[in-house]
Amino acid sequence: TIDIALWKFESPKYFFTVIDAPGHRDFIKNMITGTSQADCAILVVASGVGEFEAGISKEGQTREHALLAFTLGVKQMIVAINKMDDSSVMYGQARYEEIKSEVTTYLKKVGYKPAKIPFVPISGWEGDNMIDRSTNMPWYKGPFLLEALDNLNAPKRPSDKPLRLPLQDVYKIGGIGTVPVGRVETGVIKPGMVATFGPVGLSTEVKSVEMHHESLPEAVPGDNVGFNVKNVSVKELRRGFVASDSKNDPAKATQDFTAQVIVLNHPGQIGNGYSPVLDCHTAHVACKFKEITEKMDRRSGKVLETAPKFVKSGDACMVI
């Protein structure tokens, strides 16, 4: 998969929206866009001999995705050990335990608490442990995948804060007009509201709000919605803009800000003047490290050094 896809399903307990993030290294930017909108990550690991090893290797995608999910604030995780029907696995417990132990070690390093993470052996192809308990793995006593999803905690939604809705895409829909889509991060959006789009400061009335093709009186944090705006062409808006309420602390552009930065993987040292591309919610913007103000311990947040000359892989720091 290259881009991110959204579709939904429901259980007796929850409505789920699935954000399918790409598994391929070249599409990591899209993966960040998708993952930054999630409440929970399902890390799908292939159990086939050779296939699992490639994913978890130093250069593999399994590690990078787990690290990105944690760093982007997705604190709940389910690990699905897939392809248990593979001829090299044959629903075997030994292979499951081997993979579980290796992934556990890595997730602990990243910062997750593996004791709270269900490791569910599944076969997407055969349907084992997906929506009911598999009879092919009597040795496994944990939840099946849908059960594990129902055991998640729904996060508290900051609906009392000012509206922030980063645009994921903008569509032109015949007979309706311009429809930006994205996930409400904070606040509420409703028809009749005058929305201001940062950083350009464009304001316009919201005509309607809908989710999964149903019209809503209002959308709250966590909702992935499309909304129709008046007198704005699709060319004036783009992915990465942020919709806000013109009457309540509207989103605006800024020249600089202070960021907490964790260096996950960088070949050399990073000093003042470093110019990376910033992936911020759904935006991708070139920027510059004006000043690294302090270096911290990435787990405890304790300051180790003020005004460090350089930071390197594994360091956490505050940067303007």
Instruction: Report pLDDT digits (tens) over 29-65.
Output: 666 666 666 889 999 999 998 888 887 776 677 787 8
Region 274-287: mean pLDDT is 88
Residues 241 and 263 in one domain: no
How much is the pLDDT for 151?
96
Q: What is the pLDDT of residues 139-149, one digit of tens each?
A: 999 999 999 99
Residue 146 and residue 50 share a domain:
yes
Look up the CATH number of the domain holding residue 223: 2.40.30.10
Domain containing residue 116: CATH number: 3.40.50.300
- Of 203, 179, 181, 207, nearest to 192 by C-alpha is 207
| Residue at 109 is within a domain | yes
Mean pLDDT, all residues of the chain: 88
What local confidence, expressed as pLDDT, does residue 117 receive? 97
DSSP H helices in the chain: 28-35, 51-56, 61-71, 93-110, 145-150
DSSP E strands, the chain: 5-10, 15-20, 40-46, 76-82, 119-121, 165-173, 177-183, 194-198, 202-211, 214-216, 224-229, 242-245, 259-262, 277-280, 283-286, 292-296, 303-306, 316-319
Same domain, 57 and 10: yes
Same domain, 173 and 235: yes
For residue 209, give its domain range: 165-245
197 and 285 within one domain: no
Residue 302 shares a structural domain with residue 217: no
How many independent structural domains does the chain possess?
3
Q: Is the pLDDT of residue 1 over 50?
A: no
Place of tokens 């790409």: 22
For the cut 60, the answer to whether the pLDDT of residue 2 exceeds it is no
Q: Domain end: 150, 180, 196, which one?
A: 150
pLDDT band with cut points at 50, 70 and 90 for residue 23:
low
- Which of 200, 221, 245 marks a domain boundary? 245
Same domain, 78 and 176: no
Q: Indicate whether 251 belongs to any domain.
A: no
Task: Give 168-183 pLDDT, tens digit per residue.
Answer: 899 998 888 999 999 9
Higher pLDDT, 241 or 37: 241
Q: Of the ranges 91-95, 174-178, 205-209, 270-274, which one carries the lowest mean pLDDT score?
A: 174-178
pLDDT one-digit tens code per residue, 167-224: 989 999 888 899 999 999 999 999 999 999 999 999 999 999 998 888 999 999 988 8
Inside any domain, residue 303: yes
Q: In this structure, are 12 and 145 located in the same domain?
A: yes
> Does 79 map to a domain?
yes
138 within some domain:
yes
pLDDT given for residue 136 in this prediction = 97
Residue after which a domain boundary falls, among 150, 182, 202: 150
Q: Is residue 253 part of a domain?
A: no
Separation CA 93–CA 53 (nearest Å)? 17
228 close to 206: Cβ distance less than 8 angstroms: yes
Q: What pLDDT score was predicted for residue 7?
A: 79
Residues 146 and 174 in one domain: no
Whether 54 is in a domain gets the answer yes
Q: Are residues 225 and 271 in the same domain?
A: no
Are residue 39 and residue 142 in the same domain, yes or no? yes
Asked if 186 and 228 sit in the same domain, the reply is yes
111 part of a folded domain: yes
